[in-house]
Amino acid sequence: MLPININKTYFALILFLLIFINAFEVHYVLYLITILFFYSKISKELLNIISFFVVIIFIAVISSFFNEHLLYSWIKDISYFSRPILAILAGYLISKKINDFGAVIKFIVFVSLFFAVTHILKILFLVDFSTASVSDIRYVGGISNEIEVLAIVILLTSKKLMGIEIVPNKLYKKIVLLIFAISFFLYLSRTMIATFTILYLASFGYLKITKKSIKYGVLVITIFGLFYAYLYSREFERGKPGIESFLYKMKIAPAEIFIASENINTKNHAYLWDHWRAYEAMMALNQMDTNLSFFIGKGFGSLVDLKFKAPLGDTYMRYIPMLHNGYVNLIFKSGVLGLLLYLLLLLTLYLYCYKKEENSHKKMAINLIAGLSLHYLFTTLIVTGMYNKMEPYVFVLGILLYFSSGKEKKILN
């Protein structure tokens, strides 16, 4: 049994709500409440990390003065761009109050386990597997659960790397791992697969450039290369039941991001969605029509003109506030200057893995921070990275930043 106190209970509750409630406004308020409730002194190291986000916001605010935008769109953008700051602070401050890394990672695993079980049950009872496509399964079960990926990595590595056994009973541990494995598979998420690979390698310190890490890196690249060689040697159809539609999505992933056409047939929705990220990014870059906008962006409130009304969700939209490609989104809002600051932030986080640390808890934290930097390097390309409205790892980043440098003590409850 985990010893329970108000701080740990609050942590479990906020983690539960962040996963359960898929609403940006709710997450934003939860972060604000956490900061106000647990506010205390923060480290210079954390302040340096947050300063990157602050300067990017400052650039986008300044550039917005050179363009006319709706106030509503301006407020939405500043909310999206300030969310990472609040999430990091919330994660850092609640962790500082708990001051027990073992308890925090146990809550992450057990809360994730609850959602893994409910995810499996929803799909088993609500999906007809004889006719269901990947889209049908993901519509019922959800498109991903990033916290679950972290929980699996923790469960697989915590005993060996930190001496913390999350589930002491071997049989129960195997059952828990099986539940996670089934849930992980049923998400059929390309991003989750990539994130698991990155974080698992990161936890062992393999992101640091050494002979051993290069060997593992070459192995991973070779496996993915052979997998894509197989995909391109076969024909798959979208919308087919079973695994075929998932393999189709895997196959078109590069084209979806990088290959666009200005002469797109807007009535051909299949082609449109297969190249959507590349198309919207191209439209945004085409609107960067001055040297000033290229340098500092078009500012908060700026909208990308898609040149036609696209069926997005339940409505048709010609002008959109955010892009899937986070790099292009940063250029559009804050220019090349904002993009360079973001890349410098990712580099700063990656370099954590080169810190020399003997404490196993701190070593795990700094390795996972480096892992998150590569995760963001990848996800910024497809789902806006740290600026994704529902992204939970920024909160986790705040947790890891505290335990990478904080003076953890055993707290008696």
Per-residue pLDDT 10s for the chain (413 aa) are 445 689 999 999 999 999 999 999 999 999 999 999 999 999 999 999 999 999 999 999 999 998 888 889 999 999 999 999 999 999 999 999 999 999 999 999 999 999 999 999 999 999 887 777 777 888 888 889 999 999 999 999 999 999 999 999 999 999 999 999 999 999 988 899 999 999 999 999 999 888 777 887 788 788 878 877 877 777 766 666 666 666 666 666 666 665 655 556 666 666 667 677 888 888 898 898 888 889 999 999 999 988 888 877 778 888 988 998 999 999 999 999 999 999 999 999 999 999 988 899 999 999 999 999 999 999 998 889 999 988 899 999 999 999 998 666 553 33
Q: Give a yes or no: residue 358 inside a domain.
A: yes
Q: Which residue has the tokens 């039941």?
A: 241
> How many other C-beta atoms lie within 10 A of the C-beta of residue 191?
18
**What's residue 18's pLDDT?**
96
Has residue 279 been placed in a domain?
no
* In contact, 98 and 410? CB cutoff 8 Å: no
The neighbouring-strand residues paired with 129 are none
Q: Classify the C-alpha dihedral 14-20-24-29 as positive or negative.
A: negative
Residue 314 lies in a domain: no
Question: So what's the pLDDT on residue 269?
Answer: 60
Contact 338, 345 (CB under 8 A): no
Query: In this predicted structure, what is the pLDDT of residue 406?
Result: 67
Q: What pLDDT shows up at residue 93?
A: 97
- Residue 221's domain spans which residues? 6-229+325-405
Distance of CA 45 to the CA centre of its chain: 22
| Both tokens assigned to 359 | 């404490």
Residue 198 lies in a domain: yes
- Count: domains in the chain: 1
CA of 85: how far to CAs of 15, 54, 246, 354, 370, in Å?
Answer: 17, 8, 35, 24, 18
Strand partners for 133: 241
Contact 141, 119 (CB under 8 A): yes
Cβ burial, residue 370 (10 Å; 0-12/13-18/19+):
buried
Q: What local confidence, expressed as pLDDT, does residue 255 receive?
A: 60
- Asked whether the beta carbons of 24 and 115 are under 8 A apart, the reply is no
Position 376 in a domain: yes
Amino acid at 161: L
Write down the residue that tokens 């640390």 correspond to: 357
Say what the pLDDT of residue 412 is. Answer: 35
Question: What pLDDT sits at residue 201?
Answer: 93
- 281 within domain boundaries: no
Report the alpha-carbon distance of residue 379 to residue 305 in Å, rounded. 23
- The answer to whether position 266 is within a domain reads no
Enter the tokens of residue 256.
């979806």
What pTM was computed for the model? 0.90
Closest CA to 388 of 24, 9, 1: 24
Residue 318 lies in a domain: no
